[in-house]
Structure 1
Amino acid sequence: MEIKKPIKQSLPKQISIQIEKAIKDGIFKVGEKIPSEPELVKSFEVSRNTIREAIQSLIQAGVLESRQGNGTYVLTNDRFEANILTRLSSSKISEVHEVRISLEKEIVKLAALRRTQEDLINIKKALDKKNSIKDNIQENSKADFEFHLCIAKACHNSIFYDLYKSISQYICTSIQERLELTFMEEENISALHTDLYEAIFSQDTKKAQEIINKILEI
């Protein structure tokens, strides 16, 4: 067996990994501005050039975005999400929709089989929050996504969860557009989401998949 010697990582690489971890851990949140260059220099105790190189690598990877005169912002949670979003941006909406359908059907099936009591509590909280928002389409679509994200977490498959979370921008846009077109059907949509929760609660995989199909058809 050929043994490869470990590769010593450069300082900028080490810094970029730590920044990515801070994003993953929620210290730097998606959509928010990261600390300024002087602040990062002080925090990491490295040179300005090292920080610049680390930040630039994350910008090129699609994790961060530099906005002229306004600092650097977090675009995605990690390189994995950045790569997925780059791939999706060059795909047809119909292709994204097909992936979403397949993903959601498998997620609700696994969630019904594997959900814990804690999962049920989190899903119910998200459902109640969604149902409490009636007149704000944007907030409703955001709450809708959080509900489905709780279900994705309940499937206890980290790859499914990361994939679902990675296409959140596309899913949220889809949900918002759908609600704008079918806002008068909100009562029916809310009932279906309640039915989905109850199917997962009862561990009825077949019913859960039937209901998610109805939701996605709308």
Structure 2
Amino acid sequence: MQITKPVKQSLPKQITLEIEKAIKNGIFKVGEKIPSEPDLVKEFSVSRNTIREAIQSLIQAGVLESRQGDGTYVLTNDRFEANIFTRLSNSKIQEVHEVRVSLEKEIVKLAAQRRTKDDLIEIKKALDEINATNGSFEENSEVDLKFHLAIAKASHNSIFYDLYKSISEYICFSVAKRLELTLIEEKLISQLHIELYEAIYSQNIEKAQETIDKILEI
């Protein structure tokens, strides 16, 4: 029997993994600047070259972005999300929408089947936040995404959750051609969000899928 010996990881690779872990755990948040090179050198007790190599690796992977004269920012939560964003940016908007529709229908079905009391609390909390928000289009999109992510989490399928999160964030924040909804459409979607929550609460799969279809049509 052939046994592959474990390979000792290089120091830059170890630092890369630690930075990725910090991003995943929310210590370094998406959209925010990571500590400067001197600070990271002090934090990890390694050379500046080691830090630079680790950061460059994450920049090439699409996780970080270097901004001249400003610093290095977190673009995505991990390499998986970075790869998905790259793929989405090279796809037609219609293709992205079709994938999202398929994911949404399966996610609400699983959420209706598997939701727990804690899941319902989180979904309701996000729903209340939607109803309380009357800000800009971007702010409304953010709270709407939070609601749908709470439902995706309630599906208890981590792959579905990660895929949905990547696709939805791309649609909400990266597609400049999205139009603002009319007041009538906003009220209708608000009512449909309530109906979707109630369908998941009562574990009515058919109603949940019918409702998500109506939301996506708008």
TM-score between the two structures when normalised by the length of structure 2: 0.96
Report the alpha carbon displacement of residue 158 of structure 1 after superposing the two structures with TM. Answer: 0.6
Displacement of 1:133 after TM fit? 1.5
Equivalent residue number for residue 193 of structure 2: 193
Q: What secondary structure does 2:73 align onto?
A: strand
| Per-residue CA distance 1:35-73 (angstroms, 9 max, x = gap) | 000000000000000000000000000000000010100
Note the C-alpha offset of 1:5. 1.4
SS in 2 for 1:167: helix
C-alpha distance in 2, partners of 1:177/1:107?
26
Q: How does 1:16-165 map to 2 (within 5 A)?
A: 16-165=16-165
Q: By how many angstroms is 1:205 displaced?
A: 0.7
8 Å contact from structure 1 (residues 152, 161) kept in 2: yes
Question: Secondary structure at 2:29's aligned position in 1?
Answer: coil
The one-letter code matched in structure 1 to 2:19 is I
| Alignment partner, residue 215 of structure 1 | 215
Using the aligned pairs only, state the percent identity. Answer: 76
| Aligned mates of 1:105, 1:211 — CA distance in 2 | 9
Does the aligned pair in 2 maintain the 1:137–1:176 contact within 8 Å?
A: no
1:168-179 map, 5 Å: 168-173=168-173
Q: Distance in 1 between matches of 2:135 and 2:57?
A: 42
The amino acid that maps onto 1:27 is I
Q: CA deviation at 1:171?
A: 2.8
Q: Is the 8 A contact 2:36 2:71 kept in 1?
A: yes
Structure 1 stretch displaced more, 168-177 or 92-101: 168-177
Tell me by how many angstroms 1:132 deviates: 1.2
Letter in 2 for 1:39: D
Superposition deviation, residue 137 in structure 1: 2.0
Amino acid at match of 1:202: S
How has the CA–CA distance of structure 1 residues 67 and 75 changed in structure 2, closer, same or farther, with 3 Å as cutoff?
Answer: same
- Alpha-carbon shift at residue 172 of structure 1 (Å): 1.3
Matched AA of 2:25: D
Name the SS of the counterpart of 1:33 in structure 2. coil
Which residues of structure 2 form unaligned runs of 5+? none
Aligned to 1:120, the other structure's residue is in SS state helix
Give the Cα–Cα distance (whole angstroms) in 2 for the partners of residues 176 and 106 of structure 1: 27
SS of 1:165's equivalent in the other structure is: helix
Question: Does 195-204 or 165-174 show the bigger shift?
Answer: 165-174
Cα distance in 2 for residues equivalent to 1:159 and 1:188: 30
Is the aligned partner of 1:184 residue 2:184? Answer: yes
Shift of 1:185: 1.6
Q: How many angstroms apart in 1 are the aligned matches of 2:121 and 2:176?
A: 25
The gaps in structure 1 that reach 5 residues or longer are none
Question: Do the aligned partners of 1:138 and 1:176 also contact (CA within 8 Å) in 2?
Answer: no
In 2, Cα distance between equivalents of 1:33 and 1:173: 18
Q: 1-side partners of 2:24 and 2:167: how far apart? A: 16
Relative to structure 1, the CA distance from residue 139 to residue 176 in structure 2 (aligned partners, 3 Å threshold; closer, same or farther) is: farther
Given that 2:196 and 2:208 are in contact with CA atoms closer than 8 Å, whether structure 1 keeps it comes out as yes
What TM-score do the two structures reach when normalised by structure 1? 0.96
Aligned-partner Cα distance in 1 for 2:180–2:193: 18
Equivalent residue letter for 1:161: Y
